[in-house]
Structure 1
């Protein structure tokens, strides 16, 4: 289905003093070593163009140049991980000059059109649009690219798939890089000379170690993990089992109605956000579809961006992982026996309680005793009874255009898929709409799709 046309590795256009130094990972980075990269991509139509192959070839060449400039600013993405033995432990960091650089792939989908990507109910077909379908965990950045971009030529369009090592970036940093790469591309691809100096509107901020440590941040920046061989913490054999992956579209009017409903049921006005109302609604709907015992415990896990929650706040330009996860649970009979407002209000209280003191205490403890999350544990330790809501509707992926206009849609790859995993993105229709990629066991997905109470809020594009 996918034919490799070309592959190359891209280094920064020039080396800076900063990129000559070793790049030390933060406690929040190290936690991610055993899970998958972040994979998101953009689908573009070329339906009105005659020579799709020529357009894609030119885009790949211009992207190669733009990437070399972007890597001057985002230099850790061009390197590889390196480990070092310490007394009673080991450390891991990035050598920014190790390895051949970031990976750039040009591929052709022999029988895929734009409609095959944007229209199907299930979206597993998109796995091959990232890293040629090859799989890795973040720790494999010792020998594999920390950043990989695959440009796939379709019959009437193209797809740009970004895979970035999740040990280096959270969702905020991922979007930061993609948007700056697009900014560079749009400012340089029309120039015949490639010697133009390009400045970007948002420079990344590195080495924010002072946030994590009570002592000297430079002295404490090398974190010791209490094992001599990091390989023993990495689990590559995790299999999530059979899943269906589907994108559900929620229009701005559907979200408004859910928000009004949740607030009315709680007797509040605008206290509950549309996103928390949506989360509570989806949690209730999936729990119902699973047909769990009434006394079974179910939990909702929320991935929470914490940059604005700490004091002083951490800039969105900081490049790294500053995220946290909060959870709230109850019995199935409670969740399904109460209204939407009850579920949304409890999630609201959970988020409010996750303040700067809680976050800072957790990360300072993590700095003293770093650990790696075991694969498969982080998503649903209860065993197919809970769900985790990741992603964000605030990540402006659609703002990255690469000279092609607004993308038709955002799609994800194989990475970090579990039963009950939900990834939120801005809706393809804009206007405050939301797209949710939901991963469920096939029989549960079929039950959810046949639930009129759930589907009445789903729109079709």
Structure 2
């Protein structure tokens, strides 16, 4: 299913699974059309399926909620979109540029240090662990990109974060709601300002961006999209000196057990990879976080040689 855009789900599978038997284990690959579900829906499905497989009984978790009542008064259902393939000028395609991936593991203690440092620098206590860690990556990777490319201080750098909206609605949407409840939020700076201002400033900018995704913003996004439906294109996301973080350390990625034991690792596929994609997962050890960084080879090499950054990474 790599390279298949979401809108082709009208005729192609919305869900695909592949199980590969290894000499010493099993690898389960799963892909879901992002139009029908977000990360919360994805991992609820994965973990419920694994529980049924392991126990052979009715799952202990609540059944999925399909209702769309929260849209009442915002948009009228069903949505009918005039749609013509010839109007689609751009697709999400597999990357053609050379890219490499590496997983950076951050232990609980190092994350706490970064959080404390970021809050102390900005005289606040509202920067979260994840925001501090994303700020650390934003500054560090931008610094190494700046050293290994022809970038200038006044070039723009953006960090797009996929923000869950379930708890931002009133009443909140259940975690068992099966659908796509996310918004995109951008934090913006110039390369020079970001490097000069450092961790605390970057983390606080991410905090402010996340906090701005209010219920009113959710409703406005839905209303605007209903009036003028539009596709998410590659150029809208993949920009020079920019980053995107998807997934969440809150997802129970190590909790699924099909009866063969719990996972030893989790990785994401190549379906939406590009230079600057930073996928976050909970680490295998409690309180730790993994970032799967997809970057150009020279940037990734420079990052691995950056002593300031690597001091925070568990080797």
TM-score range, shorter chain: over 0.9
- Tell me the CA shift for residue 226 of structure 1: 4.0
Aligned partner of 2:272 among 416, 425, 428: 416
SS of corresponding position for 1:313:
coil
Runs of 4+ in 1 over 6 A off after TM superposition: none
User: Deviation digits for residues 155-174 of structure 1, max 9, x if unmatched?
Assistant: 21111111111111100100
For 1:230-309, what aligned pairs fall within 5 Å after superposition? 230=85, 232-233=87-88, 235-236=90-91, 238-240=93-95, 241-269=97-125, 271-291=126-146, 292-309=151-168
Question: TM-score, structure 1 length as denominator?
Answer: 0.64
User: Deviation digits for residues 246-288 of structure 1, max 9, x if unmatched?
Assistant: 111111111111111111112234x211110000000001111
Aligned partner of 1:186 among 54, 76, 93: 54
For 1:27-66, what aligned pairs fall within 5 Å after superposition? none
**Mapped partners of 2:250, 2:237: distance in 1:** 22
Equivalent pair of 1:225/1:371 in contact (CA under 8 Å) = no
**Mapped partners of 1:416, 1:402: distance in 2:** 27
More strand by percentage: 1
Aligned partner of 1:363 among 222, 231, 253: 222
Whether 1:402 aligns to 2:262 is no
SS of corresponding position for 2:158:
strand
Query: Over the residues paired in the alignment, what is the CA RMSD in angstroms?
Result: 1.9
Residue in 2 aligned with 1:146?
A: 14
Residue in 1 aligned with 2:65?
A: 205
Question: TM-score, structure 2 length as denominator?
Answer: 0.92
User: Deviation digits for residues 17-39 of structure 1, max 9, x if unmatched?
Assistant: xxxxxxxxxxxxxxxxxxxxxxx
SS of corresponding position for 2:237:
coil
Aligned partner of 2:237 among 370, 379, 389: 379
Aligned partner of 1:214 among 70, 73, 79: 73
**Mapped partners of 1:182, 1:237: distance in 2:** 30
**Mapped partners of 1:284, 1:199: distance in 2:** 43
Unaligned runs of 5+ in 1: 1-130, 189-196
Equivalent pair of 2:94/2:271 in contact (CA under 8 Å) = no
**Mapped partners of 2:275, 2:59: distance in 1:** 43
Higher RCO (Cα < 8 Å, 6 or more apart): 2
User: Deviation digits for residues 304-349 of structure 1, max 9, x if unmatched?
Assistant: 0011011121111111111001112111111111131111112111
Unaligned runs of 5+ in 2: none
Equivalent pair of 1:295/1:331 in contact (CA under 8 Å) = yes
**Mapped partners of 2:269, 2:79: distance in 1:** 31
Residue in 2 aligned with 1:160?
A: 28
Give the number of equivalent residue pairs. 310
- Tell me the CA shift for residue 207 of structure 1: 3.4
**Mapped partners of 1:439, 1:298: distance in 2:** 17
SS of corresponding position for 2:266:
strand
**Mapped partners of 1:146, 1:411: distance in 2:** 20
- Please tell me whether Structure 1 or Structure 2 has the larger radius of gyration of its CA atoms: 1
Aligned partner of 2:40 among 164, 172, 178: 172
Equivalent pair of 1:289/1:444 in contact (CA under 8 Å) = yes
SS of corresponding position for 1:167:
coil
Residue in 2 aligned with 1:341?
A: 200
**Mapped partners of 1:302, 1:356: distance in 2:** 17
- Tell me the CA shift for residue 135 of structure 1: 4.1
